[in-house]
Amino acid sequence: MKISEIKELLKAEVVCGEESLDREVGSACGSDMMSDVLAYVKDQAVLLTGLVNPQVVRTAEMMDMVCIVFVRSKCPTEEMIELATEHGMVLLKTQKRMYEACGKLYANGLGGNGERK
């Protein structure tokens, strides 16, 4: 699935990385606990979270993720936007809650754990 499709499905706003919306991603995960992302997530390209602090971008970068979607209308800070831009990441924000956002992506073919639905 292209990041542009994620943007459309979630009615999301691009915060940064608009030039990379045509990137393909094969999986996603949703979590507000970065320790869980580090411990349990493998081969995920998209992170959905409601947590807004620089550690989110640092964690996503360590895990080679290319896109972070902030749910519940959360807005990343300027520091987070700068970090994401530096690492070539796309940041999106949506009004949808985590459960709905993850479900919508999964129902449209974006799987988790490196597997396509």
In a domain, 97, yes or no: yes
Q: What pLDDT digit, counting tens, does each position of 5-31 carry? A: 999 999 999 999 999 999 999 999 999
Does residue 115 sit within a domain?
no
In a domain, 114, yes or no: no
Looking at the 3D structure of the chain, how many domains does it have? 1
- Is residue 116 in a domain? no
Tell me the pTM.
0.93
Tell me the β-bridge partners of 111. Answer: 27
In this prediction, residues 92-100 reach a mean pLDDT of 98
Residue 117 lies in a domain: no
Average of per-residue pLDDT across 79-105: 97
Structure tokens at 46: 């998209």
21: CATH: 3.40.1390.20
Label residue 115 by pLDDT band (50, 70, 90). Answer: low
Give the residue numbers spanning the domain of 91: 3-107
Residue 43 has φ and ψ, to the nearest 5°, of: 55, 40
Residue 40 falls inside a structural domain: yes
Sequence-ordered list of residues with C-beta below 8 angstroms from that of 107, at least 6 positions apart, any chain:
none
